[in-house]
Structure 1
Amino acid sequence: MDELNVSHVTLTGYVEMSKYRYLYFSVLFTVYVLIICSNATIVYLIWTHKNLHEPMYIFICALLFNCLLYSTTVYPKLLIDFLSETPIVSMSSCLLQFFMFYSIGGTEFWLIASMAFDRYVSICKPLRYPTIMRKSAVKVLLILAWFVPACHIAPEAILSAKTPICSSDLNGIFCNNAMFTLHCTKPRSLTVLGVVALLDLVILPMLFTVFTYTKIFIMSYQSGKSFRRKAAETCVPHLIVLISFSYLAAYDVAIARMETDFPKTARLIMTMQIFLYHPLFNPFIYGLKMKEISKHLKLLCLTRV
């Protein structure tokens, strides 16, 4: 294949765009509004109530704020594309979306791992909790959660920008790792960077989280009912979020490696799952399962009635 001088990329992953344009727009616009309202509400409750200014709730606040950022990297451009005759994106914007999407996605796993560490110290080492989870420690964990993924993804985006491109048609609806299929040949260095990022941003934080919660559940099994209830109330929502996001991350990795003859409709459905469920369900999981947040949420609803 011959190298092309590509300034814009055409997104070809939509199914019958001209026929379902307004249906796509209506559904995703509604979902985006729900995501903004639900996540922002929980963030507002944690921000404004001093009794929620504890590490566990601060991490939840950071996670839901990250969901807002995660959604905003995808939804606005999708909504514009639905109303456009031809869905296109400039190469620089495509690389920026790639960088933002994966750095924020990596932050999600790091925040979940930080929450797991916080729960481990709280449940298994309660006497040392105030000295370990000081404000300074929470700030460091939050900074690392946003800084480390960005440092991993930035070299990938820069190297991808310098890699020769042989196609301007991206078989997708936004710039995820499917954009690697545009390259004439994928450099080995880009593959190595991708593997390192996958290891550091997804696999290691996930293994740490699973290991930490395993220790918590072993300890809770050996303790009384009240201890088991406390562990379940605080840990189960985090595990649900980890499982759902890991499942979606596996989808995203798989999509870039699918053959071109994979059914277009199935590919579209799978791609949309990456950003559809997770940011929408998170605030409901934490709003309903976490007692203190649920209490403030009920009071907020009553005052608005």
Structure 2
Amino acid sequence: MTSVVLNVTSVTSVTLDGFLQLSDHRLLFFFVCLAAFVFVLFSDFLVVYLVVSRRSLHRPMYMFVAAVLLNSVAASVTVYPKLLSDLSGGGVAHVSRSACLCQAFVLYSLGSSSFMLLAAMAFDRYLSICRPLRYAALASPSAVAALLLLCWLLPACLVGGAALLASRLPLCRSRLDRIHCDIYSFVRLSCGGGAALLSEVYGLLCAAATVFLPAAFVLFSYGRILTICLRRSRTFSSKALHTCLPHLLVFLNYCLCTAFDLLHRRLHTASDPAASVVTSVLVVLVPTVLNPVVYGLKVKEIFTQVKKLLRCQTQG
């Protein structure tokens, strides 16, 4: 019994085995991730700068766009530097329990905030298209600020509870077949029992509150918008759907990445570590890279401001 206790309590760090699957392609992945990180930082900050500095973009829809891109920057800063450091090394990657949970907390919190922000965007578009006479009153600056705080604070509190529960679990294993930490995989390293079951149930409740419910609200809102558009003129419908398209593309991007990750967690076997690596790469790489592309190219007002800024820099 004493030896078992010692083995459990001696697990103070976690090994990210996903890097072993990349041993033959580390250099390629390093440059891909480096290019993605630089692109995300430049493009996201460019769009956020334009939203903040251009008075014509001081509207709720663009404030939510800036918030989503700030989430993307925060997630990138949390993952990419450590990922690049581990890829540049030749051995396996080790991370302490506390650092692993901190990274998992930030990723889960920001990911949940992104879904809630997309729900807030859908609500904003619903008010603008379906309730235009009440839009100015309901989408006031104070209401937008309160909604933004809710979208960030609620996931942080809920995910913080999940991270706290996970931190109290004794670990019987120390190897993750991923390239970054997440709470679900961390809990799976525990010795099981009632505490681990409680942590998993609480995690499902958090996901329901901050991912599944916002996703359902997005689908409901855009369903209502589509119904209204079918009853109006073709010009009105075309303009309304054009403003909603970028948000729908980003929403589908998040949904597909999240669904792929969840299905893999439930269906994968220990004999398929390569799939775990691919999943952990896609969950971080795809949303952070595609978000600024979609908003920069598909949102006409932002794209116009980007062209004006670049034209001024070229002439200068």
- Mark yes or no: TM-score above 0.5: yes
> Residue 80 of structure 1 corresponds to which residue in structure 2?
85
Aligned residues: 305
Q: Which residue of 1 aligns with 2:260?
A: 251
Distance 1:294 1:259, change over 3 A: closer
2:134 to 128, 146, 150: 128
The answer (yes or no) to whether the contact 1:15–1:268 under 8 Å persists in 2 is: no
Kept in 2, the 8 Å contact 1:11–1:170? The answer is yes
Distance 1:16 1:129, change over 3 A: closer
| Structure 2 CA distance for aligned equivalents of residues 248 and 178 of structure 1 | 17
Following TM superposition, by how much is the alpha carbon of 1:173 offset from its aligned partner in structure 2, in angstroms? 0.8
* Structure 2 counterparts to residues 20-99 of structure 1, below 5 A: 20-84=25-89, 85-99=91-105
Q: Is the Cα–Cα contact under 8 Å of residues 28 and 79 in structure 1 kept in the other structure?
A: yes
**Residues 21 and 274 of structure 2 are in contact (CA less than 8 Å); yes or no, is this contact kept in structure 1?**
no
Which range is displaced more, 79-88 or 116-125? 79-88
- What CA distance in whole angstroms lies between the structure 2 residues aligned with 1:139 and 1:201? 19
Give the SS at the match of 2:232.
Answer: coil
Output the CA distance in 2 between the equivalents of 1:194 and 1:78. Answer: 25
Moved more, 7-16 or 27-36: 7-16
Task: Identify unmatched segments of 5+ residues in structure 2.
Answer: none
One-letter amino acid matched to 2:17 = T
Q: C-alpha displacement at 1:48, in angstroms? A: 0.6
- Deviation track 1:184-234 (CA, whole Å, cap 9, x = no partner) reads 105221122111111101110000010001000100111001210121111
Q: Distance in 1 between matches of 2:130 and 2:272?
A: 49
Q: Normalising by structure 2, report the TM-score.
A: 0.92
Amino acid at match of 1:137: A
Identity percentage over the alignment? 37
How far does residue 16 in structure 1 lie from its aligned partner after superposition?
A: 4.6
Q: Which residue number in structure 2 is paired with residue 182 of structure 1?
A: 189
The aligned counterpart of 2:246 is 237
Deviations 1:50-83 (A, max 9, x none): 1100001111111111111122221111111112
Partner of 1:288: 297
Deviation at 1:21, TM superposition (A): 2.4
The 5 Å alignment of 1:188-199 reads 188-199=197-208
Structure 2 partner of 1:3: 8
Q: State the distance in 2 between where 1:15 and 1:232 align.
A: 46
- Provide the C-alpha distance between the structure 2 equivalents of 1:240 and 1:149, rounded to a whole number of angstroms: 23
User: Which structure 2 residues correspond to residues 124-163 of structure 1 after superposition, within 5 A?
Assistant: 124-163=130-169
Q: Is the 8 A contact 1:181 1:256 kept in 2?
A: no
Residue identity opposite 1:51 in structure 2? S
Contact 1:15–1:265 (Cα < 8 Å) also in 2 = no
Instruction: Please tell me the root mean square deviation across aligned C-alpha atoms, in Å.
Output: 1.5
**Alpha carbons of 1:230 and 1:274: their partners in 2 closer, same or farther (altered >3 Å)?**
same
TM-score by length of 1: 0.96
Preserved contact between residue 178 and residue 255 of structure 1 (Cα < 8 Å): no
Three-state SS of the structure 1 residue aligned to 2:203 is helix
Q: 1:179 offset after TM fit, Å?
A: 1.8
Which runs of 5 or more structure 1 residues have no equivalent in the other structure?
none
Letter in 1 for 2:288: P
Equivalent-residue separation in structure 2 for 1:91 and 1:228 (angstroms): 52
CA displacement, residues 91-116 of structure 1 (integer Å, 9 cap, x when unaligned):
10001011101000000000000000
Counterpart check, 1:264 vs 2:273: yes
Deviation string, structure 1 residues 221-269 (Cα, Å, up to 9, x no partner): 1100121012111111111111110111122323433444342323212
For residues 265 and 191 of structure 2, what CA distance do their matches in structure 1 show?
Answer: 15
Cα drift, residue 174 of structure 1: 0.7
